[in-house]
Structure 1
């Protein structure tokens, strides 16, 4: 089993690096094609940073490991708004504007609730289509909001800053000096790397679950979810250091929105009618409660204190005994 653990860890490393280059290559290519910065920020970067969850869950579902697939998305949703948001609030107060609380956060919470109910009922291809259609509508709503008022400038600035940043392992030259063919190649190789890393992670995580005699959903909820949420953790810590609390909240709730709608759609479409991906009642309820808890704490004073951060961390610690008892 030691070899399987090492191979799963290698899959996580490949997944993280490849996803980084996939998003950067896609965003820089979109900019060179003169696509609106708002579209780059909301669609290319927003969907791209959730690519690890989508592809890992999709690969797992296609292999018949539906428990691992659902556990990964559910675990990521819970982990984002408890562990990661709690860590960010411990590092400093996380403030958020009332506009974000009124619009983006409720949309993300609604997506989590929809995913939780459909996952409890079973993610069949038909329910996958429902989630996909809802996801498209959600993206259109986000684009409309982003084009209004100061949000347009903020998203455009964030997209430009992201595209000019370097990847975890990047070439030591400025993006503008790279040849035109480099970014498409980067994006394609990044996608191939994400797929390879996902396959390596899923196959070995499934084997570990079998060897330990534990349900796949637990491995998905813990090992796989934590691994695929590493990009969100890194982005959150960097944004918090720069004092961009709105970006912290938007990144985490936005990740949950894309995970639930697009990730859930991928699981449903890949699972097939014979073996739909299912989440236990306890897991579905926990997803809804943690999303509601984070929303409630942010609404109280439009900020998270260190005491409230400890509440979120405690909520994450309590989810594991709840899951094991089901």
Structure 2
């Protein structure tokens, strides 16, 4: 048991740093290829920061550990909008642009609802196709919105992300050989895959040795670990006063987790090992998304009492694991 715990922690650490190198390398590479900052911000960085959830869940589903796979997505979605958003509000109360509340947030909440319905029915290759189509449509809408509203702010955020070295990695931008960013990207992807393998294999072993359902391990240990990049990014953005980035990052992560992550699980699980989640946990996931949206809509700001409510909701979701 101690060895499995150490290896799982090692997998989490490798996953966190490798994912940041993957996103940083791919975003800088895309910028050098003169790809639009809107595409870099929404697609490359947006999808890339959710890479830990995608790959961990896909690998777990492919191994037959569907409880870990689904528990990771559900747990990450709940954790993003309760624990992480609550911590952000406790650090400093913040206001949010009404445009974000009217457009991006409802789209993310709708994505969570779609995932909940299909996860209850069962994630299989058939439902995965539907989720993949929804993910592509959501990306198209997000890019159109970003282009239509002017991309100066997003361009600045992309430039700042690349200059500061991502969420976890401290690697200031400087003139590097042309081959450096492609190599960083490939090594980052290899590190994410290796970290995901370490985490999933040992998390499964821990669940078996403790005699607890896999979904509990996925909902707690794995979900918390794969959400570390979002936590670091949120704290950094909050310190810089980029409150729209805080909300967009967390709700955007839930959108990508639900649609792309759910598609990954369905394709990896196959028709013979359909992945399911209990109605209790799925209801809790949808409830937290609606609650966070309602708190933000109420006054277009999040206060410290609101943050306390969100943290309390996260604590209350943990006992639900016993009924799932």
TM-score tier, shorter chain, comes to over 0.9
Residue 50 of structure 2 corresponds to which residue in structure 1? 50
Q: Which runs of 4+ in 1 moved over 3 A?
A: 167-171
Q: Distance in 1 between matches of 2:41 and 2:175?
A: 22
Helix, strand or coil at the partner of 2:64: coil
Residue 154 of structure 1 corresponds to which residue in structure 2? 153
TM-superposition CA deviations, 1:215-268 (whole Å, max 9, x none)? 000100000000000000000000111111111000000000000000000000
Instruction: Find out whether 1:25 has 2:22 as its counterpart.
Output: no
Structure 2 portions without partners, runs of 5+: none
Q: Distance in 2 between matches of 1:264 and 1:191?
A: 20
Q: Distance in 2 between matches of 1:11 and 1:105?
A: 32
Helix, strand or coil at the partner of 2:123: coil
Residue 113 of structure 1 corresponds to which residue in structure 2? 113
Q: How does 1:240-251 map to 2 (within 5 A)?
A: 240-251=238-249
Instruction: Decide whether the 8 Å contact of 2:80 with 2:254 is kept in 1.
Output: yes
Residue 64 of structure 1 corresponds to which residue in structure 2? 64
Residue 192 of structure 2 corresponds to which residue in structure 1? 194
Q: Distance in 2 between matches of 1:49 and 1:87?
A: 19
Q: Distance in 2 between matches of 1:6 and 1:142?
A: 40
Instruction: Decide whether the 8 Å contact of 2:164 with 2:170 is kept in 1.
Output: no
- Select which of 261, 266, 270 maps to 1:263: 261
Residue 289 of structure 1 corresponds to which residue in structure 2? 287
Q: CA shift at 1:170, angstroms?
A: 5.3
Q: CA shift at 1:154, angstroms?
A: 1.1
Residue 11 of structure 2 corresponds to which residue in structure 1? 11
Q: Distance in 1 between matches of 2:322 and 2:243?
A: 34
Residue 237 of structure 2 corresponds to which residue in structure 1? 239
Instruction: Find out whether 1:320 has 2:296 as its counterpart.
Output: no
Helix, strand or coil at the partner of 1:231: helix
Q: Distance in 2 between matches of 1:229 and 1:90?
A: 18
Q: CA shift at 1:169, angstroms?
A: 4.7
Structure 1 portions without partners, runs of 5+: none
Q: CA shift at 1:149, angstroms?
A: 2.4
State the number of aligned residues.
323
Residue 93 of structure 1 corresponds to which residue in structure 2? 93
- Could you say what the CA RMSD is over the residues aligned between the two structures, in angstroms? 1.0
Helix, strand or coil at the partner of 2:241: coil
